[in-house]
Structure 1
Amino acid sequence: MDSKNIIEKTVNIVSLGCPKNLVDTENMINDLESRGYKIIPDAEKAEIILVNTCSFVTDARKESIDTLLDLSRYKEEGNAKLLVGTGCLISRYKDTLPNLLPEVDVMLSTFEESRLGELLDGLSQPNVKKNNTTELIIPQSIPFREKRLTPRHRAYVKISEGCDHTCTFCSIPLSRGPQISRKPEDILSEITRLGNEGVEEITLIAQDLTRYGSDLGLKDGLADLLLMIDRLNKVSWVRLLYAYPTLVTDRLLDVIRDSPSIVKYLDIPLQHVNGEVLRRMERPGNIDSSRRLISRIREKVPGISLRTTFIVGFPGETDEEFQELMSFVKWANFDHLGVFSFSREEGTPSYNMDGQIPARIKNQRRNQVMALQKKISFEKNKSYVGKVVPVLIEGPSEQSPLVLSGRIATMAPDLIDGEVLVLSGSASVGEIVECCITKAHPYDLEAWEISVPPIV
């Protein structure tokens, strides 16, 4: 197939995985549209189908492969002339995927996605062929995008790419490479434009926000960046995802506390608290340092909402080490918490570690942590009942189209931390309105907009 056969230049895009992948997809959409390609929602009618894949854990890889195979049928049943795979799965398995997935015509790593439009335009060139995988060339900058896939009132802003940590369980450096920070002026320019377009909430994302700017020679880059963003006065809420535990500085906490637009919310993936488990993970700390961290954050930023994630069933995790984690969860009283059962990832040091835990035990441990956290979250949510709080309206709830869904500032987007069900109100999507919390559930809240009487 050559480029002359692409007449309408229509593209259907599926984006899988995390918000960082979503931003990459937005970048590709902007590049393609600038070249005259039209993005359409119907895969059956598209001449080009693109899947931006994820490879974070086994289930994510399976979803990516299944999606590629499922959509490949439109080359026979539909209008598709080209199936393109991009993203983390391609980066991680660039040497083996062409033989395993011959249905995919072009494969581009995360490092080469900026070449997508150029490659599609040049398909008639003799040196570009089907099932093409490109060399991993680390970009020197992260592109700026014009259009987004998120609702108009909120946006993800990626401030750096890649990761320099060497956690033994994590495959992300295999897919994303080392850290590359965007220049502060580029980030500020993007947020200024987004604010001028009516965006109310910005979520800053990176594999490790707290290392932002270290590769640019900045000493306390994230704190400085947040100060500059707050001074722009362009958006109402600025949220942080994710912070590495040992890099949460007092100055960063001071900025979060004192800056009106910086949401008092911090996601710190601790992964575990037992010192021996953390050592095997090649992460610093132990239960005592973790307690000091949580205490320091709450002392410096009163009322802050804390979220974390843990991995259970890491190779060699004993019952005693797991119970230490359980005791910490009970003590820490996190607002939000997620738990992963350890997933063996090829290419990572933990893949061949001794002491692999059976799936049954891993799942039991995960269920125990989540059952404990469910009780904690319910008690936390009960404390909101009777309070009047700002709620960002997202639109009709998936639970019922007759009810509005919203979020308080201590809830991250995309139902990560639950939602506020606004049972009585007239606010528009994207508005931040005052609501009275009337009822608590383990993960969600019910409320009514104070400008509209509740329905009795």
Structure 2
Amino acid sequence: MNVYFDTLGCLKNFNDSDMAMGILEKRGHHIVHSPEEADAIVVNTCGFIDDAKKESIGEIFDMAAYKEQGKKLIVSGCLVQRYSEELFKEIPEADGFIGVNDYEKLPELLDQLQKDGNRFRKVDEMEKGALEEENRYRKIPETVYSTSIRIAEGCNNRCTYCIIPAIRGPYRSRSMESIVEEAERLADAGCRELNVIAQDTSYYGKDLYGKPMLAQLLHKLAEIDGIQWIRILYCYEENITDELIQTMAEEPKICHYIDVPLQHSNDKVLKEMNRRSTQESIRNTIRKLREAMPDICIRTTMIVGFPGETDEEFADLMAFIREIRFSRLGAFTYSQEEGTPAAERKDQIPEDVKKERLDALMMEQMQISNEENQKLVGKTMDVMVDDQDDEGAYIGRTAYDAPEIDNSVIFTSSKDHKPGDIVKVRIDAAFDYDLQGAEVEAE
């Protein structure tokens, strides 16, 4: 059977799809690149916040249009893990539903569907073994110069606004050997950039080895030939150890970049979110990072409009952002997720107030980003090529920019480049979020 995957949401979802595609190919199915070519379409959904749920539902119905051509439609992922019974009843257009832990069963479910046409719903709890199989099953794309590598699944943090532990389960680290083997496979296939992900990467190893082991894992990944950039995403501040900071500073392959999703900076709001950080601990960690790596890019994410957030607490957040001047910052309005403690609170913030706060925060960050970008004009930076536009200019990223979410560098060159090439670019102009320049000869 020819199968097409339509994946929504975070990098962890894309890893799930890669593993599912690998499983299907090993069982004789074929992965195709468009729904028109497919016998079956799999929509891998996101169910994190309201906007993601709406996008997933919309995509399911878009793909359902292909049912008229006799194609089968399967819905998988976080939305199914959370709402499988409701979806099964409300979306009869879909032939099957599977959760985040059931991709190994997908080949036999598809075979059975093709045989008898009966709809199915399969949503199980996570088994530890499935994570270890990720190395063996994951389908590696033909051009894989940059990709993510998942080092753990689930989360133990129990933030009061977040439904992820209910969807993905408790934190479960993969073995270091399994991760390194997968990274070696990726490097052999041409991967040059590894983006290390988990729900909380800095927690890695506590459950398996009794202590955080991210630093030791990074040392092993840095030894792999072919890998040139290693980037760390989703680190919780309270688990960023001195050992991890030292490792980042000493290993030349590790990008001076760290993603630390703080969500807020006001101590009262952080406590009500069940976050373990405090404003002082955040300041202290950022100070250590910048002392060890003065050029480090610190990315964060903030939530505005958490229940009970006062004007004064929001002002405290704004003052903190002005003080710290994060290199990269994303934000979203609080989403009232059923099944979470925060959703039960009576002091919900009106949507118009949440939007006003989001707009104010992002305007502040836009100015900070522009000012920081202006400091780069005239400098020469290493840039990884991602794409080429219709006019022939190349689009790439510095080591301070994660794929898909951070800034771009648009540059001209007289040479031919392919995605993954790392070239020297002189920065000639800077804007709110992007840079512009031209390739220069390496010295």
Per the TM alignment, residue 275 of structure 1 is displaced from its structure 2 partner at its CA by 1.0
Within a 5 Å distance, the mapping from 1:180-199 to structure 2 comes to 180-199=172-191
Q: Deviations over 1:93-152 (max 9, x none)?
A: 1232211112111111001122111322344788x9413233334343421245335942
Query: 1:43: how far off?
Result: 1.9
1:177 to 1:377, Cα distance in 2 relative to 1, 3 A: same
Residues 389 and 124 of structure 1: CA distance in aligned 2, closer, same or farther (over 3 Å) = closer
Which of 252, 258, 270 is 1:260 aligned to? 252
Indicate yes or no: 2:381 matched with 1:392.
Answer: no
Does 2:198 align with 1:206?
Answer: yes
Q: For the residues of structure 2 that align with 1:451 and 1:137, how far apart are their CA atoms?
A: 51
1:326 alignment partner, one of 311, 318, 343: 318
User: AA paired with 1:281?
Assistant: M
3-state DSSP class of the match of 2:235? coil
Determine if contact 1:22/1:149 at 8 Å carries over to the other structure: no
After superposition, the Cα gap between the structure-2 partners of 1:394 and 1:150, relative to the gap in structure 1 and judged at 3 Å, is farther
Whole-angstrom distance in 1 between the partners of 2:414 and 2:436: 12
1:217 aligns with 2:209: yes
Alignment of 1:346-385 (within 5 A): 346-385=338-377
| Partner of residue 135, structure 1 | 124
* CA deviation vs aligned residue, 1:343-382 (integer Å, no higher than 9, x gap): 1111111111121111111011011111111111111111
Match of residue 239 from structure 1: 231
1:101 is matched with 91
Contact between 2:411 and 2:438, CA under 8 Å: does it hold in 1?
yes
Deviation at 1:444, TM superposition (A): 0.4
Question: What does the per-residue CA deviation read over 1:395-441, in whole Å, with 9 as the maximum and x for residues that have no partner?
Answer: 114xx542110111000001x11100012342332110111111111
Does the 8 A contact of 2:393 with 2:410 survive in 1? yes
Aligned partners of 1:254 and 1:234: how far apart in 2?
23
Question: Is the contact between residue 233 and residue 261 of structure 1 (CA under 8 Å) also seen in structure 2?
Answer: no
Please list, as runs of the form range in 1=range in 2, the aligned pairs for 1:47-446 lying within 5 A after superposition: 47-76=39-68, 78-80=69-71, 82-123=72-113, 129-142=118-131, 143-144=134-135, 145-148=137-140, 151-397=143-389, 401-414=391-404, 416-426=405-415, 427-446=417-436
**What is the TM-score normalised by the length of structure 1?**
0.92
| CA deviation map 1:259-284 (0-9, x unaligned) | 01111100001100111111110112
How far off its partner does 1:45 sit?
4.2
In structure 1, distance between residues paired with 2:299 and 2:433: 13
The letter for the 2-side match of 1:100 is: E
The whole-number CA distance in structure 2 between the counterparts of 1:32 and 1:134 is: 18
Pairwise CA distance, 1:52: 0.4
> 1:220: how far off?
2.8
Provide the rounded CA distance (Å) in 1 between the counterparts of 2:180 and 2:35: 36
Cα distance in 1 for partners of 2:54, 2:101 equals 22
C-alpha separation in 2, matches of 1:351 and 1:291: 29
SS in structure 1 at match of 2:184: helix
1: CA distance, partners of 2:244 / 2:260: 13
**Residue type of the alignment partner of 1:130:** R
* Secondary structure class of the residue paired with 1:263: strand
RMSD of equivalent CA atoms: 1.8
Q: What is the rounded CA distance, in whole Å, between the counterparts of 1:42 and 1:445 in structure 2? A: 33
Contact 2:84/2:121, CA 8 A, preserved across alignment: no
Separation of aligned partners in 1, 2:264 and 2:409: 30
Give distance in 2, aligned partners of 1:219 and 1:106.
41
Aligned to 2:439: 449
Count of aligned positions? 438
Measure how far apart 1:56 and its partner are: 1.2
Letter of the 1:87 partner, please give it. Answer: G
Distance 2:142 2:280 in 1: 40
Cα distance in 1 between the residues matched to 2:86 and 2:142: 33
Residues 187 and 224, structure 2, Cα contact 8 Å, conserved in 1:
no
Give the aligned residue type for 1:430: G
Deviation of residue 210 (structure 1)? Answer: 0.6
After superposition, what is the alpha-carbon deviation per residue over 1:67-92, rounded to whole angstroms, capped at 9, x for unaligned?
A: 1122222222x131x21111000001
CA distance in 1 between partners of 2:432 and 2:249 (Å): 27
Distance in 2, matches of 1:389 and 1:20, equals 30
Cα deviation, 1:219-246, whole Å, max 9, x if unaligned, reads 2310110111112343000001110010
CA 1:264–1:382: 2 relative to 1, 3 Å = same
Distance 1:199 1:363 in 2: 40
Structure 2 length-normalised TM = 0.95
**How many angstroms apart in 2 are the aligned matches of 1:347 and 1:152?**
38
Q: State the distance in 2 between where 1:362 and 1:387 align.
A: 39
Native 8 Å contact 1:141 1:182 kept in 2: no
Structure 2: unaligned runs, 5 residues or longer: none
User: Whole-Å Cα distance in 2 between the matches of residues 150 and 295 of structure 1?
Assistant: 41
Structure 1, unaligned stretches of length 5 or more? 1-8
**Gap change, CA 1:317 and 1:151, over 3 Å in 2:** farther
